[in-house]
């Protein structure tokens, strides 16, 4: 006898909530650990070396955006057994990542020179080896996401983060400069790759099925194109800052970008690790799909809106106290990027929903319009010579172009976009008021006191909505209750 649909959905909701819980713990542990080590590395290396490494990271992330041609995500949303396609997916990802790694090794000197940082050539080359490592384990990682094995994923990610961080720190203290960060990142990737293969739900195999490959590429290539545009959207500002303003200003910008990404990493990424698998399995039920979207949005904004806006308000005291006066130029950049982080969190959820629905071609068009608007805005802003102006351009494009376009597309497929607006307005409004209080404190109090005030305001904003957050969490665990 088959499992009743309602019981199956309840079980799926509980699995998703459990996976989300482990993903949150994983992300929090990673972010808090790397924050402490990152502070030490920033003080040891300074903006120049930090900017040189940032040039290498941008190159790595550019290739990772499309090195699997979008086919690994097909495993997550494949309606049939993933064992039928896993060997073909592995073959595609290994081949493409090997070719791209070779291209990075050859092209590194030209790219580094174009970014105004010839010293970044070796970091780009060695960090580029992580592209091959990523391609080798793309299938095991996707299989674990499909099965919501976030508990096992947490162990792997923690080994990656801590091994890489301590390797980088040890090398930085002995004078390796930007190379210390590249080698540390690669070391963590290699060890975690072995762990992915061991933990994979299916045996690691290469194979080739022409019909499967055709279907995979039909799904994956538009998504890979969209993923490239996602990268450009996320890092075009850094490319512009590095190319126009140089590696020192890029170092300041990247520090602010990393801090502003905290709410995204802590709240959005754990949800994104669960949402595609969950929504892919309930997309045939509009009622359950709409309920799940509503819950995810309320949970996301309930915790991320206070975090983003309070972080923006406390940018000045935070940078001055934690990183020192050498990094003071990062503070205004952080203030604007922290607000943009809230827009980014919503945009990423919209992106995942459109992927699950299968609107990859519409998604590609939306991403293209975003890139065009951001390219113009970021370049014009950089010409002012003020690094924070590029962050302002990001925010303006996100609010004026991106969110309206995404929400319109979701409305076209009958998701409850308008109803969500009324549900999230109170938490956003309360967060704005709280951020205003922090701004007053940041301009009148010593840095330590201002940061203490920011922490208190953030906790109060979360405490006010504690009951609603708990209720949404419980409803997620029983999606059809």
C-beta atoms surrounding 426 within 10 Å: 14
In this predicted structure, the answer to whether residue 214 has a pLDDT above a threshold of 50 is yes
- Per the CB < 8 A criterion, the answer to whether 450 and 438 are in contact is yes
Main-chain phi, psi angles of 162, to 5 degrees:
-75, -40
Enter the tokens of residue 327.
């990094």
In this predicted structure, the answer to whether residue 7 has a pLDDT above a threshold of 60 is no
pLDDT, tens digit, for every residue of 9-60?
Answer: 445 556 666 666 776 777 777 777 777 777 887 888 888 887 888 888 777 7
Query: How far is the CA of 116 from the CAs of 162, 255, 462, in angstroms?
Result: 31, 18, 44
Res 252: pLDDT: 92
Enter the tokens of residue 137.
């384990």
DSSP string, 295-341: HHHHHHHHHHHHHHHHHHHTHHHHHHHHT-GGGTTHHHHHHHHHHHH
479 vs 231: which has the higher pLDDT = 231
Alpha-carbon distance of 472 to 208, in angstroms, equals 44
pTM (two decimals): 0.74
Res 1: pLDDT: 43
In whole angstroms, how large is the CA radius of gyration of the chain?
22
Res 419: pLDDT: 62
In this predicted structure, the answer to whether residue 345 has a pLDDT above a threshold of 50 is yes
Average pLDDT value over all residues in the chain: 81
In this predicted structure, the answer to whether residue 298 has a pLDDT above a threshold of 90 is no
Residues 183-205, mean pLDDT to the nearest whole number: 92
In this predicted structure, the answer to whether residue 152 has a pLDDT above a threshold of 60 is yes
Quote the percentage of the chain above a pLDDT of 90: 20
In this predicted structure, the answer to whether residue 313 has a pLDDT above a threshold of 80 is yes
Is residue 163 exposed (0-12), middle (13-18) or buried (19+ Cβ within 10 Å)?
middle
Res 222: pLDDT: 76
Res 301: pLDDT: 79
Res 194: pLDDT: 95
In this predicted structure, the answer to whether residue 431 has a pLDDT above a threshold of 80 is no
* Continuous H helices in 323-465: 330-357, 360-382, 387-397, 403-412, 417-444, 447-464
- Dihedral sign from CA coordinates of 343, 378, 354, 220: negative
Enter the tokens of residue 389.
């102006």
Res 479: pLDDT: 56
Res 29: pLDDT: 74
Res 253: pLDDT: 93
Res 338: pLDDT: 92
């Amino acid at each position: 006898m088959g499992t009743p649909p309602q019981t199956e959905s309840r079980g799926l909701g509980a699995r998703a909530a459990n996976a989300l819980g482990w993903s949150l713990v994983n992300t929090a542990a990673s972010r808090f650990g790397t924050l402490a080590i990152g502070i030490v590395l920033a003080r040891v290396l300074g903006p120049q070396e930090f900017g040189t490494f940032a040039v290498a990271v941008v190159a790595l992330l550019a290739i990772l955006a499309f090195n699997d041609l979008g086919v690994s995500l097909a495993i997550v949303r494949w309606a049939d057994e993933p064992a039928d396609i896993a060997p073909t997916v592995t073959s595609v990802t290994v081949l493409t990542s090997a070719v791209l790694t070779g291209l990075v090794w050859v092209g590194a000197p030209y790219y580094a020179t174009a970014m105004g940082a010839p010293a970044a050539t070796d970091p780009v080359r060695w960090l580029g080896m992580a592209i091959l490592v990523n391609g080798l384990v793309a299938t095991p990682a996707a299989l674990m996401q499909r099965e919501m094995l976030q508990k096992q994923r947490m162990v792997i990610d923690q080994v990656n983060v801590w091994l890489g961080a301590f390797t980088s720190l040890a090398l930085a203290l002995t004078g390796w400069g930007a190379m210390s960060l590249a080698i540390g990142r690669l070391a963590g990737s290699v060890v975690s790759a072995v762990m992915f293969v061991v933990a994979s739900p299916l045996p690691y195999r290469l194979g080739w099925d022409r019909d499967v490959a055709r279907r995979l590429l039909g799904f994956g290539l538009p998504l890979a194109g969209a993923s490239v545009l996602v990268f450009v959207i996320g890092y075009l500002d850094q490319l512009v800052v590095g190319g126009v303003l140089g590696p020192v200003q890029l170092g300041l910008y990247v520090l602010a970008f990393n801090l502003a990404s905290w709410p995204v990493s802590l709240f959005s990424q754990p949800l994104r690790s669960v949402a595609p698998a969950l929504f892919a399995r309930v997309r045939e039920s509009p009622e359950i799909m709409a309920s799940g979207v509503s819950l995810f949005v309320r949970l996301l904004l309930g915790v991320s809106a206070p975090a983003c806006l309070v972080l923006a308000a406390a940018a000045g005291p935070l940078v001055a106290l934690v990183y020192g006066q050498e990094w003071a130029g990062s503070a205004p950049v952080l203030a604007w990027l922290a607000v943009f982080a809230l827009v980014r969190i919503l945009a990423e959820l919209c992106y995942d929903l459109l992927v699950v629905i299968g609107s990859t071609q519409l998604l590609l068009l939306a991403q293209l319009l975003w890139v065009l608007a951001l390219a113009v805005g970021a370049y014009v802003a950089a010409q002012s010579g003020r690094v924070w102006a590029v962050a302002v351009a990001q925010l303006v494009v996100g609010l004026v172009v991106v969110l309206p376009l995404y929400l319109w597309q979701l409305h076209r497929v009958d998701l409850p976009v308008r109803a969500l607006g009324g549900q999230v307005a109170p938490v956003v409004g309360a967060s704005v008021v709280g951020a205003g209080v922090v701004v007053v404190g940041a301009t009148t109090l010593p840095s330590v006191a201002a940061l203490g005030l920011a922490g208190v305001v953030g906790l109060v904003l979360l405490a006010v909505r504690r009951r609603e957050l708990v209720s949404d969490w419980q409803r997620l665990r029983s999606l059809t209750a």
